Amino acid sequence: MARPFHDLLAGYKAQEREILDAVRRVLESGHYILGREVAAFEAEYAAFLRVPHVVGVASATEALQVALLALDVRPGDEVCIPALTAAPTAMAVLAVGATPVLVDIDLANYTMDPSALAAALSPRTAVVVPVHLYGQCADVDAIARVVHTGAEDGTAAGVTRRPIAILEDAAQAHGATDRGRLAGSMGRIAAWSFYPTKNLGTFGDGGALSTTEPALAARCQRLRMYGQVEGYDFAEPGLNARLDELHAAILRVRLTKLAANNATRRATAARYLREIRNAAVTLPAVREGCEPVWHQFVVRTERRDELAKHLASRGLQTLVHYARALSQMTALKERAVVRQSPRRAEQAAAQVLSLPIYPEMEPGHQDEVIAAVNDWRS
């Protein structure tokens, strides 16, 4: 019998009664948009992240877009993003009229390379977006040092109208830490995804923003609701980007198991790291001080497609995250800026393969994956 890459139904079944109770509670309340459930989830997720403010929105893409608007990003501004990430990171930048600047990655952990960022900064740089890819935190401290150095020597923030902001793309990193600090608490603001496959997911689209700044949170609350303020006035143009009550209620249930589910993912990842022994397959590296949550477990090999076919022949599904670097995407060829060739990101895109990892994954399934990778010969 074929083994799936991810079993969403098993995740639902694990909390079925609580989820159905939450859905019924919302349906019987008669209030479906920006009500008690959204407010309660925002408070509960803020407590989990140890930050004072969370703002629920409709998706991670809209979370990024709202954050960029709240940070006063305008047409003509540049936003630095890693060259290997999900396409929506770039699409949100384009949606506000700014220009994505593609920064190469560290090939060991697939996150933005701080040394490559230095070459990407310009007088137009307004925001840097470290992506905590695959569930491991980017090196926000090193990125902040590069940004600060750029401000001091006049190549970046020193000649712009405002300092460069750090916006964390934490869509894949619910509960990940770097030196004890949680993802989503290290920049000025962070964007989250609650897509069904995420470590914290609902059964549809959903997203959020987290920040320590009350004024920034208040502006995000306005922007997710067309820019509306009290008295049916609109302070500025905004979006329809609200998290609805149904998804908020479901997320409140799913949040209660997030820590336990992350621990299960870490245990599976530890098995993979310990027991996969194939010289042709490069395992992911964990940066010192980090504790990933393993949204994906990504290996790398020069013959990626052959390895995927080998696992498929054993009934083991795999996926590729992501098959193209942003620099290789048609929509970005004329719209993004590349100041230094992102060769490592493009190399990763040609070589990465995601092995199955999810909380309900059976030990026997793990055994089969490990055995199949170990007996593959490139």
One-letter-per-residue 3-state SS of the chain: CCECCCCHHHHHHHCHHHHHHHHHHHHHHCCCECCHHHHHHHHHHHHHHCCCEEEEECCHHHHHHHHHHHCCCCCCCEEEEECCCCHHHHHHHHHCCCEEEEECECCCCCCECHHHHHHHCCCCEEEECCECHHHCCCCHHHHHHHHHHHHHHCCCHHHCCCCCEEEEECCCCCCCEECCEECCCCCCEEEEECCCCCCCCCCCCCEEEEECCHHHHHHHHHHCECCEECCCEECCCCCECECEHHHHHHHHHHHCCHHHHHHHHHHHHHHHHHHCCCCCCECCCCCCCEECCCCCEEEECCCHHHHHHHHHHCCECCECCCCCCHHHCHHHHCCCECCCCCHHHHHHHHHEEEECCCCCCCHHHHHHHHHHHHCCCC
Residues 128-140, mean pLDDT to the nearest whole number? 98
* Whole-structure pTM value: 0.95
Percentage of the chain exceeding pLDDT 70: 97
Which amino acid is residue 66, in one-letter code? V
Q: Which two tokens stand for residue 205?
A: 């689209």
pLDDT on residue 24:
98
Percentage of the chain exceeding pLDDT 90: 95
The answer on pLDDT for 142 being more than 80 is yes
The answer on pLDDT for 152 being more than 70 is no
pLDDT digits (tens, 9 = 90+) for 253-271: 999 999 999 999 999 999 9
| Mean pLDDT lowest among 34-48, 60-74, 155-169 | 155-169
Nearest in space to 175 (alpha carbons), one of 157, 153, 201, 155: 201
pLDDT on residue 149:
86
Bridge partners for 33 per DSSP? 244
pLDDT band at 378 (very low <50, low <70, confident <90, very high): confident
pLDDT on residue 50:
97
Nearest in space to 341 (alpha carbons), one of 140, 104, 121: 104
Buried b vs exposed e over 116-126: b needs ≥16 C-beta within 10 Å? bbbebbbebbb
Residues 66-92, mean pLDDT to the nearest whole number? 98
The answer on pLDDT for 151 being more than 90 is no
pLDDT on residue 231:
87
Residues 70-80, mean pLDDT to the nearest whole number? 97
pLDDT digits (tens, 9 = 90+) for 160-205: 446 999 999 999 999 999 999 999 999 999 999 999 999 999 999 9
Nearest in space to 99 (alpha carbons), one of 341, 334, 325, 322: 334
pLDDT on residue 157:
44
Which domains does the chain carry? 8-103+110-255 (3.40.640.10), 258-374 (3.90.1150.10)
The answer on pLDDT for 237 being more than 70 is yes
pLDDT on residue 184:
97
Residues 310-329, mean pLDDT to the nearest whole number? 98
- The neighbour count for residue 9, using CB atoms within 10 Å, is 11
pLDDT on residue 150:
72
φ, ψ of residue 270 to 5 degrees: the values are: -60, -40
Residues 320-326, mean pLDDT to the nearest whole number? 98
pLDDT on residue 158:
44
By the 8 A CB rule, do 188 and 143 touch? no
Average pLDDT of the chain is: 96
pLDDT on residue 100:
98
pLDDT digits (tens, 9 = 90+) for 4-45: 999 999 999 999 999 999 999 999 999 999 999 999 999 999
Residues 223-231, mean pLDDT to the nearest whole number? 94
pLDDT digits (tens, 9 = 90+) for 302-316: 999 999 999 999 999
Residues 207-231, mean pLDDT to the nearest whole number? 97
